[in-house]
Amino acid sequence: MKYLISGGGTGGHIFPAVSIANALRELDPQADILFVGALGRMEMERVPQAGYKIIGLPVRGFNRKQPWKNISVVWDLLRSMVQARRIVRDFRPNVGIGVGGYASGAAMKVAAKMGVPILLQEQNGFAGVTNKLLKDNARKICVAYEGMERFFPAEKILLTGNPVRQDLVRGSKEQAIDYLQKEYGVFFSLERPTLLIIGGSLGARTINQALLGGVQQLLNQGIQVIWQTGKTYYEQIIKQLQDNHIGREAELPQRAGTPAHPDMVVTPFLSNMPDLYALADLVISRAGASSISELCLLGKPAILVPSPNVAEDHQTHNAMALVNKDAAVLVKDADAEQQLIPAALALLQDSARLSALSEHILTLAQPDSARRIAEEVIRLTKRK
């Protein structure tokens, strides 16, 4: 069987796409899988790294602030449709899988018109523009949240959740302690609370500013802090910490500019997430679909700070799906500098509340999401 998978632009689209491809390979080892992405976007690098072939289209997003510049965008869209038709004709897929993003719109629209059954995967609680435009072309639409009938025909919807890295469940607190010692020269304790801050690979300005203003207060309360600043803000954060003499209680070996403090790690990017998640008693995070799915799978208490810089404010919708079930705490981006640290302190000092959040968020997990989506894809080939 041949499967055409299209989408990307962000990790939130790319990771589910690769996870679905991996699940298809497990169920159908002889599967022939081809990705279609957008030239110059993240998927053109990440998909080959995962071991799959990808073809790039010149498709781009519309410029809403400067509409007069969209003439070339429309031209690139037309070129992409022609190229997508050639790809579908040559590859002859049994099923097309769209995960959102510019390329997905062009590739899946053309594939549907050429008689290929289409399955869509929507990661967020507020449907993306591309998937809303493709809903009439799709046979099935796999969603991560309840209540998606307001965007898609109810008879097409399957609640499958978002694919999540399965290695996350194999984390170990003890291994996290060893990792932090070897990598950053800090000696964390299993007996004290640990706060993990993950603002994304690029970082989250508001979360970083809130931590700058309150990290000393956290340290004074004996809280261990693992702070991923994102590569955009790292140098600036380090300079401000050093200028303000924050966290300087001990002279420890400094790794990648991490301020010397026995209870704090500051880094642009975190690896070894399975172990670090295991160690964390509380997580502060944006409310992207992938992050929320990981938190649900692991049952991690979380404070979510939705990004205001995303289409349709979909991160707030993602977060509210958890908040409405008492499975997470929400702090608005505009309020984060005043409210984030007090909220974190209050939770870390309330073990009963942490336990309740953990119990509630765990009920929302969909651990076999990728496999369930892959099984539905294979069922579409049989129906065809």
Phi, psi of 207 (to 5 degrees): -60, -45
What pLDDT score does 257 carry?
Answer: 54
Whether 55 and 34 have beta carbons less than 8 Å apart is answered as: yes
Q: Which two tokens stand for residue 186?
A: 């800090």
Alpha-carbon distance of 373 to 121, in angstroms, equals 8
The residue type of 333 is D
Whether 261 and 247 have beta carbons less than 8 Å apart is answered as: yes
The tens digit of pLDDT for each residue in 36-91 reads 999 988 899 999 999 999 999 998 776 667 776 777 778 888 999 999 999 999 99
Helices 205-220 and 336-348, axial angle in degrees (round to 10): 40
Residue 310: strand, helix, or coil: coil
Taking Cα atoms as reference points, which of 375, 299, 366 lies closest to residue 123?
Answer: 366
H or E stretch at 184: helix 173-184
Alpha-carbon distance of 69 to 71, in angstroms, equals 6
**226 forms bridges with which residues in the sheet?**
196, 265
Q: What is the mean pLDDT of the chain?
A: 90
Alpha-carbon distance of 245 to 226, in angstroms, equals 18
Whether 371 and 23 have beta carbons less than 8 Å apart is answered as: yes
From the CA atom positions of the chain, what is the Rg in Å? 22
Strands 157-159 and 140-143: parallel
What pLDDT score does 250 carry?
Answer: 47
The tens digit of pLDDT for each residue in 245-292 reads 776 554 444 555 566 678 999 988 888 999 999 999 999 999 988 899
User: Distances from the Cα of 201 to the Cαs of 84, 141, 153, 196, in angstroms?
Assistant: 31, 29, 35, 14
**Angle, CA of 323, 120 and 74, to the nearest 5°:** 105
Percent of the chain at pLDDT exceeding 90: 68
- Under DSSP, the state recorded for 213 is H
Who has greater pLDDT, 247 or 213? 213
Q: What is the pTM of this model?
A: 0.84
